[in-house]
Structure formats: structure tokens, C-alpha cells
């Protein structure tokens, strides 16, 4: 990013940086939330679209601590609960995704690029849908066979689509956070 006036404004005062950071985070979350109910052509597979909130949680947690990942998961989980239904809750699945993503030893196993992000999102989508399926199994108002055959369909399509669309969320956010990091180092 070579935007001189922006850099100057952001470098001047740390408060500006914090405000800009918050704005970017909130705007990206709102964008992910608003795109969740849509099923754009080319973005769905058997009526199932990408899990945008999960992609955001993964993008956030990749370079952050476990606590930060978990908090992001809880926050977005609560929002998704509000948009669908309170039971089974999405807080558990997204929190687990945040924790696991933050715990991954990326520097050891995976190099920092799109492919590794897509892989993490793929695995995390499967984990998240499995957590939801387990909650349904405990709830007991559907038969286990029904839940787990549906789980196969959802987990696979959601994992494939989410991992394909993950870079769209990850790339700009990562660029922004890197830019912020360099500014922090300079000042």
C-alpha cells in the first residue's frame, strides 16, 4: 500500500490506527454477514453456499493468539445465532475454529500463502459442521441417520466452497493487517 496521505494520517497518532483497524474489522464482518443469506449463481452447490463467517474467523485467527481467536469465534457465533436460531448454537463451532486455527503451528507445517489458507478453511469447515451435527445428536429431535447423512453433504460442499472463496476475504484483510503491523514497527 503506497497511499502517502493515508500513511501520514495513520502514522501521526496511534488512536487513528486503532479507529481505522476497528472500522476495517467491523466493515469486513458486516460484509460477511450480509452476504451469508445470498446464494449467488456460481457460489452454491446443492443449495449450500460458502460459510463466510467461518472464513473470517480463520483469516482473523491465523496470526493471532488463542484467546483472540476464541473471542472472534464467540462474537461471530452469537451474531450467526441471531440470524438463524439459538439452538444448536454456532458459538461452540466458531470458537473451536478460532482456537484450532490459532493453535496451528503454521510456520512449521504450512507456508503462508493462499493454498495453506484454503486448506485450513477446508479442515475447519468440516470441524465446524461436525460440532453442529454432534449438538443435533444430543438434542435428539432428529434421527441420527438423518443428521449424519445430511452432515456428509453439508460438510463436504461447505468445505469445498468455503476453501475456494477464502482468499477473497483473507487476501485484503491480510494485506491491511500487514500494513498496520509495519506502521506499528515504524512508529
The yes or no reply on residue 28 touching another protein (CB under 8 A) is no
**Segment near another protein (CB under 8 A); pick from 5-13, 32-40, 108-116, 165-173:** 32-40
Asked whether the bond before 88 is cis by omega within 30 degrees of 0, the reply is: yes
The yes or no reply on residue 85 touching another protein (CB under 8 A) is yes
How far apart CA 35 and CA 23 sit, in angstroms, is: 18
CB of 173 vs another protein, minimal distance in Å: 16
DSSP per-residue codes, 78-139: HHHHHHS-SSS-HHHHHHHHHHHHHHS-HHHH--SSHHHHHHHHHHHHHHHHHHHHHHHHHH
Applying CB under 8 A, which of residues 55, 57, 59, 79 lies at the interface with another protein? 79
Which cell goes with 30?
458486516
Q: What are residue 45's phi and psi, to 5 degrees?
A: -135, 115
How many chain residues bind another protein (CB under 8 A)? 38
How far apart CA 168 and CA 159 sit, in angstroms, is: 15
Applying CB under 8 A, which of residues 57, 96, 97, 154 lies at the interface with another protein? 154
What residues are paired with 45 via a beta bridge? 48
Which cell goes with 59?
483469516
* Contacts to another protein from residues 110-129, by CB under 8 A: 129
Applying CB under 8 A, which of residues 28, 61, 75, 163 lies at the interface with another protein? 75
The yes or no reply on residue 76 touching another protein (CB under 8 A) is yes
**Segment near another protein (CB under 8 A); pick from 4-12, 28-36, 97-105, 110-118:** 28-36
The yes or no reply on residue 23 touching another protein (CB under 8 A) is no
Q: Which residues contribute to the site for another protein (CB under 8 A)?
A: 18, 22, 30, 33-34, 36-39, 47-49, 51, 71, 74-86, 88, 90, 129, 132, 136, 141-142, 146, 150, 154, 158
Amino acid at each position: 500500500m503506497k497511499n502517502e496521505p493515508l500513511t501520514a494520517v495513520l502514522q501521526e497518532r496511534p488512536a487513528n490506527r486503532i479507529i481505522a483497524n476497528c472500522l476495517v474489522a467491523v466493515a469486513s464482518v458486516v460484509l460477511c454477514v450480509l452476504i451469508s443469506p445470498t446464494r449467488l449463481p456460481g457460489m452454491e452447490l446443492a443449495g449450500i453456499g460458502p460459510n463466510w463467517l467461518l472464513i473470517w474467523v480463520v483469516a482473523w485467527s491465523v496470526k493471532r493468539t488463542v484467546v483472540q481467536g476464541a473471542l472472534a469465534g464467540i462474537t461471530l457465533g452469537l451474531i450467526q445465532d441471531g440470524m438463524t436460531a439459538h439452538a444448536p448454537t454456532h458459538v461452540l463451532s466458531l470458537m473451536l475454529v478460532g482456537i484450532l486455527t490459532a493453535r496451528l503451528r503454521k510456520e512449521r507445517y504450512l507456508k503462508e500463502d493462499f493454498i495453506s489458507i484454503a486448506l485450513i478453511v477446508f479442515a475447519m469447515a468440516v470441524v465446524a459442521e461436525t460440532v453442529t451435527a454432534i449438538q443435533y445428536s444430543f438434542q435428539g429431535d432428529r434421527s441420527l441417520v438423518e443428521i449424519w447423512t445430511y452432515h456428509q453433504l453439508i460438510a463436504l460442499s461447505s468445505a469445498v466452497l468455503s476453501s475456494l472463496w477464502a482468499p477473497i476475504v483473507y487476501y485484503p484483510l491480510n494485506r491491511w493487517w500487514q500494513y498496520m503491523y509495519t506502521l506499528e514497527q515504524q512508529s
